A and B are shown apart, each in its own frame.
Chain A
Amino acid sequence: MTNARQQLATALRHYGMAGVLVLLCAFFSAVTIRDQQLSGAEAADSLVDQLSKAGKQSTVLVIARATDEDQQFAKSLRVRLETAGLVVAGVVTGEPRDARKELQRINDNGAGLAIIAATPECATWTILADLPTKFPALGNPRIVSPQASRWPVFLTRQNLLNVANQIVVVAILSAGLTFVILTRGIDLSVGSLIALAAVVATRLVRDRLGGTEATGASLVLAALAGLALCTLIGLASGAVVVHFNLPSFIATLAVMQAASGLAFILSQGQSIYEVPESSAWLGRGTGLFGLPHAVTLMLLVFAAAHILLTRTVLGRHLYAVGGNEQAARLSGVPVGRVKLFAYAACAALAGLGGIVMASQLKSGAPTYGTSYELYAIAAVVVGGTSLTGGQGNVLGTLVGALIIAVINNGMNLTGVESYTQKVVLGLVILAAVLLDRLKGRFGPNARH
């Protein structure tokens, strides 16, 4: 095998999936290029230039929605138009119905209207179609909107934050699952643990900690209780796997059923939503640089997991156990304790995922997390961690989770219908596993 090809194989192993992620992003950027409207005060600026040519004394009606950006647009446009010497006949910030009322009022005054300045969203309202027939006294006003620039929807700030936000729960799960898969195990219970943690935490808040009046400290306490329960369950399934030498597949399948049932019992099959507003802080709040708290948490989890795997003895032991359990045991690695750690950490992170989801949805229900274990396994495998243990890393898992998120988001943005989405996602997972095989064939292990 030539040196160059070896280098290529190494490069692909380390950066292959990151490359796929970049390609996917580029692809979805290319196919989602659309007119992006300016908004807020900026949009008002661009309109004033356009309208000041219309001549002084022209009457203008400003129409915008009730959102913050639109209100800002309407406010600054009014000020600027008046400075430029135009007459602002009215400002609407609301629904089509409000626009109808205002148009009717101006029509009834018989004053006539030269221009309607509407945000692009409002310009599609059908109330603004056929104006001369509906409101004859207005004349035939020209409808103008702020200029647009071409930019991919995929690459807008809000969308990228969406992608990150949407994958937080699966990503946190898959970080924990990476530990277990590295030891050559699997944990199928993570989806059910999401539901259990969400239900336990919200039920504690509702029944014991003051319901919608609960304080921040109570919320933290409830979240910790959910996490603690999940950690205990993880320890238990780890203990079963280690001491009875059961296949992890079977042990965690049983735990998956039991935990899901427990969540249904504790919630009586209903969703628990009597929690305070502030419980959405983690799931919906934003912090530094407008980064959602949940995304920050996810990054912290991955940073910690990465350090653990690459810089600590425990991390090396995880690889050793998965690579060759017998050899690890003979060289003094506490195999049992390492595995216990992997299952406990995995369950704890699943619980954390449940807390994040409960916060995002401001409620807890036993149906949360259904089949999330499969997404998480997919993220780990797509991220290059080998199901046969001992190979892989947690940053790859993050890339894997992002690939799944980008594909989901991209398909939603381009309007691929949901049956096709499933097929595509399945093919992606298959492709990732095949890629893993090809790497194996040409990687350093191939020569053994």
Chain B
Amino acid sequence: MPHLTVRIWRGADEGEYQSFSVPMRENQTVLDVVSEVQRSQDQSLSYRFACRVGVCGSCAMMVNGKPRWTCRTHIRSLKSGVVTIAPLRNMPRIKDLVTDMSGFIDKWGKAGNVFESERDRRDAPVAVDPSSPRRKAADAAIECINCGVCHAACDVVSWNDSYLGPAALNRAWSLVNDERHSRKKETMAAAMGDGGCGNCHSQGNCMAACPIGLSPTRSIAGLKKMSLMSLLGGSDV
């Protein structure tokens, strides 16, 4: 049986790649390979996963330099006899393939991303028109499951520590377009603040890397437009 060479990051910020040889199989994902190494060669290897079918987003890692869901990345599709696997970029490393995602999650909070409603259970539900432009804009951004792939793909995040990043701003975009959200002004103020949408260079790495095809680039462009309108006095938030 042919074998695949896998280079896996070991350690935290200080560390090195360790090579393993894994049997090549007909249908094999990168997550399968990491699991096989952990189960049959080195049980001290740390990594994260949960669902294994592209629902939870917890198995994201850098595969041959690109952030990807390892459970949805077939070894065959990489067209490479050597696979290099590292923890997600732009996040502190804890051990091996596990990163500390708390900074990434905190940035969601900093972008004003907690949904607030002025209504309670006694009020009738808001009638939301699914065909309104606002709702369509929110719907286009709303499927994000917070896996961190776009955050790892973003160069601006790597250059600028205060930048909130594509995931947090994409969430802010879905909220400012949600007619039920009662704190749109606060969300908008955070999204156009110092670490906000004005820092984005529209490189589109987030959009290219998103495993479910969302476009944080487009969401951030929407926030930029809204910010400029509000600074020019024509706010429609």
Asked if chains A and B come from one complex, the reply is no
> What residues make up the interface of A, taking CB atoms closer than 8 Å to B?
none
